[in-house]
Amino acid sequence: MLLEDDPFTPLGHLLDEKENMTRLLLRSILLLTLLVLSGCAHKLSGPIHSADGPGWVTEAEVTSAPTDVTVHHRIVLIGDAGYFLEDDPTLAALDQWATSVDSSTVVFLGDNIYNEGLTDEDRENGERVLSQQLSATAVPKIAIPGNHDWGLLPKNYNAKSIQNQQAFVDGWLQGNAEFIPKNGCMGPTARVLRERSEDQQAVVFIAVDPTPWINEGIREACPDAMTQDAHLAALDALLSLHTDDQVIMASHYPMLTGGPHGGLSYGFIADMIITPLGWMMGGLLNTYETDYADWITRSQEVMRRNPPAIYAAGHDHNLQLLRSGDVAGMFVVSGAGARARVSTVTNIDETIFAHAAEGFIVVDFGQTESGKDAVVLRVIEPLVSVDEPVFETALD
């Protein structure tokens, strides 16, 4: 009599072979699925401009930075700085650039604490990371939320981490620090960084957090939750109010990028892990995903009526300056605040400068000796030079 579970019988061999074939088929299907999912994320291709080489600079004509600018207010833009690094050279350089002028503000562009924000369960580490950033300089500081400040992945976002971070930043003992928008709301929230005078424009910062738009399930976290239309109307009103001022608008999320969140590969091995995991957990927070793209399109319709001088973001862990058409004076991506998180970047049609190297971007608002208003942008990479920018340009 042949026993089905006896491997030494012909039937046992047949069943084992069938089982092995089934396993092989399932593994092949899984591998193919991973490859397809990984490939689905790649909408950009091009040379990678890593820290091993110089930053990429457009061959097209750009406006040179004037040398005779009196800086009325400086804004240091640094994003994705949420990892602790002992004696961090980027934070040291940030203080040098923030304190070398009479009036300045440092803006942390989100993902201020990896990987899940300031949670109750890991408060000690989160407070250490955030304290290092806030204590890096004594000048006024603004922190805005990023996706990792909400949680690790879209399916586990929660308002508690945001509330904890807001309370910590707003209660910073040394003062001069604020977390906006508040309470898990989309904003917009405006702060006048420099008041208007007879011969100088005001410098106004407007913060928005599209996370509740891109992930509609968390919108209820805000006690005064706005609809998308109400948020856009409020943004329209703020931009209209400050048409005679120099406005810098920011969120964690770029509207245009040559990095992975614009569809560039992280590298084959990383893509095999990150991309399928991201899709399974609710999305990769890339610019072309449906809700993200909808936020970009509808926000830009509003911005075109009264374009800000700068729209700044982090999210992609590199340094980019990009042409923004009629939406703003320039797009800035400054998400290279943590050495451990620097990622790939390539140049796209709108790219002025691109480099996957740690650092930050400085925006100076001022006047030339002839009295002409000037907005100068400088890319600072501390491992190249603390004192000199690796690239600088000005708005037309």
Domain ranges of the chain: 1-40, 48-394
CATH for 48-394, options being 3.90.550.10, 3.60.21.10, 3.90.1210.10, 3.40.50.300:
3.60.21.10
The pLDDT, as a whole number, for residue 2 is: 47
Local confidence band at 140 (pLDDT 50, 70, 90 cut-offs):
very high
Crossing angle of helices 228-241 and 290-303, in 10° steps, is 30
Q: Residues of 338-365 as b/e, b for ≥16 C-beta within 10 angstroms? A: bbebbbbbbbbebbbbbbbbbbbbbbbb
- Interatomic CA distance for residues 337 and 134, integer angstroms: 13
For 263-274, the pLDDT digits (tens) are: 998 777 777 777
pTM of the entire structure?
Answer: 0.89
Amino acid occupying residue 382 = P
Local confidence band at 215 (pLDDT 50, 70, 90 cut-offs):
confident
Tell me: pLDDT of 396 over 80: yes
Of 13-22, 327-336, 365-374, minimum mean pLDDT range: 13-22
The pLDDT, as a whole number, for residue 284 is: 86
The pLDDT, as a whole number, for residue 1 is: 47
Q: Which helix (H) or strand (E) holds 306?
A: none
Instruction: With H, G, I as helix, E, B as strand and everything else as coil, classify residue 30.
Output: helix
For 57-113, the pLDDT digits (tens) are: 999 999 999 999 999 999 999 999 999 999 999 999 999 999 999 999 999 999 999
- Interatomic CA distance for residues 127 and 49, integer angstroms: 33
The pLDDT, as a whole number, for residue 28 is: 54
For 366-379, the pLDDT digits (tens) are: 999 988 999 999 99
The pLDDT, as a whole number, for residue 371 is: 87
Residue listed under structure tokens 């309470």: 183
Computed on alpha carbons and rounded to an integer, the radius of gyration of the chain in Å comes to 24
